[in-house]
Amino acid sequence: MKKLLEISLGVVTSVGGFLEVGSMATAAQAGAAFGFQLIWAIVLGTICIIFLVEMAGRFAAMSHHTISEGIRERFGFNVFLWPLLVVLLVNFMVLSAEIGGVAIALELATGIGFQWWALPVALLAWLLLWKGTFGFIEKGVSVLGLVTLCFVVGSVMLKPDWTAVAGGAVPSLPAHDAINYWFMASSILGASISPYLFMFYSSGAIEDKWDESHLGANRAIAGLGMTFGGTISIGVLIVAALVLATRGIDQVDDYHQLPLMLIPIFGFWGFVLFVASLAIACFGAALEVGLQQAYLVAQGFGWTWGEDRKPRDDPGFSAVYTASLFLAAIPIVLGLDPLRLTIFSMAVTAASLPLTVVPFLFLLNDERYVGEHRNGIISNAAVIFIIALAFVLAVVTIPLQIFGGT
């Protein structure tokens, strides 16, 4: 029974991880511009992240080390420096975008400009990390995050042609705006396959003191949890396709357009639900990315770390998330458009994937870490596929952004 509860919590936790400003914005843009055609990108991204998350969890449960620790220990500091610096930079942008997402939600709710909300949001996030425990944060955000199910409910209420939806899950070539189509596909993949997600998951496994007995739960949480998040993203896409595209709005490049998705379905409550969904999903993600910055640095250098500890017991760890949160708020305070920043950071994430995904092939086959639970043929095939995909994305994303992105 306890395991069941753990699994359900784990599943719901994907909301703060999988569903955040990046997945919401890219899904909305894709739905408005290409209808159901890009559903396959969300499906593909979800399948990839399921494999990566399961592996990250298995690695942590068996070795009691996180993926970040594994990368340094297995490849040496000189090699580790590259993923370290790149991920710190990418996470910084994503964190900024998440703070921006909460700030936009608050601007929509109150009329006060998003620039004014950036520091208060960073402060609240900091306070929760400073005083809260890992379990409290995990459970709190997860339960509140259930509000995002409104997109799934909304998409069902719109009575889409489900065969057309299923058709969208199969990759197809675009009828128009090819460059834009492929740019959106790569951004969706960057939003789904985020390094902070699987790194945070492996850190979380250590925080929750997982061991070999958790391997089954790990598989369930990875599979169901990421599917849960992916389904909500598809819900956002369907809603955008049926509400915006059908009314001639095929370009989502202004965050003011986003609440319009739910208003025709739920009336004024649609506005409220959207604001709440955006605020909670982004806030949860801000907590996770902020923590992950600290995890990455502390684990990379061997410091004491742990969200359940008092800050004075792990000063290096606490200093990193404190600095990260307030530094990441600055671009938003200065007025950088959060929607633009989001799309850009998703593209950069996609381009940076090889650095964090290649280690999986080595770490998960190393029996000194995972014992007899090394990757099977399917997992290894999946990793190789993801690595190939990562290299393709690394090469095409930035040019696509230059020539086709908004």
Partner 1 sequence: MAHPTRAVPHNDRHFPVGCLCLLLILAGLAGCSSSNQVAQQSRTAASAAQTVSMVLDAWVEGAAPSAYATAALHSVGKTLADVEAQIRSAEIAEPAGRAGLTAAVNSLSVAVAHAEAELRVNNRTEVKSAQQDLRAAMRSLAAAYTSAFGPKP
Partner 2 sequence: MELMRDLLDKQVFDRRRVKIGKVDGVVAELRRGKPPRIVAIELGSITLARRLGARPGEWMAQLATRVGGKRHAEPHRIAWKKAQDNGLDIECDIEVGETSIFAWQDWLRDHVIGRIPGA
The residues that touch partner 1, with contacts defined as CB under 8 A, are: 107-108, 110-111, 175-176, 179, 247-251, 253-254, 256-257, 259-260, 263-264, 267-268, 270-271, 399, 402-403
Supply 108's token pair: 């929509």
Q: Where are the alpha helices (DSSP H) in 35-161?
A: 39-63, 67-75, 77-110, 114-131, 134-145, 150-157
Q: Is 58 in the site for partner 2 (CB under 8 A)?
A: no
Among 73, 98, 107, 307, binds partner 2 (CB under 8 A): 73
Q: Does 157 bind partner 2 (CB under 8 A)?
A: no
Alpha helices in 245-376 (DSSP H): 263-266, 268-301, 315-333, 338-363, 367-370
Q: How far is the CB of 32 from partner 1 (least distance, A)?
A: 8
User: Interface mask (CB under 8 A) for partner 2, residues 303-342, using x and -?
Assistant: xxx----xxx--xx-xx--x--------------------
CA gap 286, 284 in Å, rounded: 5
Q: Which stretch binds partner 2 (CB under 8 A): 73-81, 108-116, 253-261, 326-334?
A: 73-81
Contact yes or no for 152/326 (Cβ under 8 A): no
Q: Which does 131 bind (CB under 5 to 8 A by kind): partner 2, partner 1, none?
A: partner 2
Q: Which is nearer to partner 2, 315 or 399 (CB)?
A: 315
The DSSP symbol for 193 reads S
| Closest to partner 1 by CB, 267 or 371 | 267
Binding of partner 2 at residue 81 (CB under 8 A)?
yes
Of 322 and 406, the one with the shorter C-beta distance to partner 1 is 406
Outline where 208-267 has alpha helix (H): 215-220, 226-239, 263-266
The packing angle between helices 338-363 and 67-75, to 10°, is: 60
Q: Considering the rule CB under 8 A, would residue 65 count as an interface residue with partner 2?
A: yes
Q: Which of 136, 162, 269, 301 binds partner 2 (CB under 8 A)?
A: 301
Please count the residues of the chain: 406
Other CB atoms within a 10 A radius of the CB of residue 260 amount to 18
Q: Which does 172 bind (CB under 5 to 8 A by kind): partner 1, partner 2, none?
A: none
Of partner 1, partner 2, none, which one sits near residue 1, judging by CB under 5 to 8 A according to partner kind? none
Taking alpha carbons only, the member of 134, 55, 36 closest to residue 361 is: 55
Q: Which is nearer to partner 2, 263 or 323 (CB)?
A: 323
Q: Which is nearer to partner 2, 186 or 318 (CB)?
A: 318
Q: Name 384's Cβ contacts closer than 8 Å, sequence gap at least 6.
A: 361
Closest CA to 339 of 259, 270, 249: 259
Contacts of residues 2-5 at CB distance under 8 Å and 24 or more positions apart, as own/partner, are 3/217
Q: Report the residue number, 172 or 322, with the smaller CB distance to partner 1.
A: 172
Please report where in the chains the tokens 């014992």 appear, as a residue: 371
Q: How far apart are CA 65 and CA 68, in angstroms?
A: 8
Least distance between partner 2 and beta carbon 73 (Å):
5
Q: Single out the segment in contact with partner 2 by CB under 8 A; choices: 5-13, 76-84, 259-267, 383-391.
A: 76-84
Give the relative orientation of helices 21-34 and 77-110 as an angle to the nearest 10 degrees: 70
> For binding to partner 2 (CB under 8 A), which residues are involved?
63-65, 69, 72-73, 76-78, 80-81, 130-131, 301-305, 310-312, 315-316, 318-319, 322, 368-369
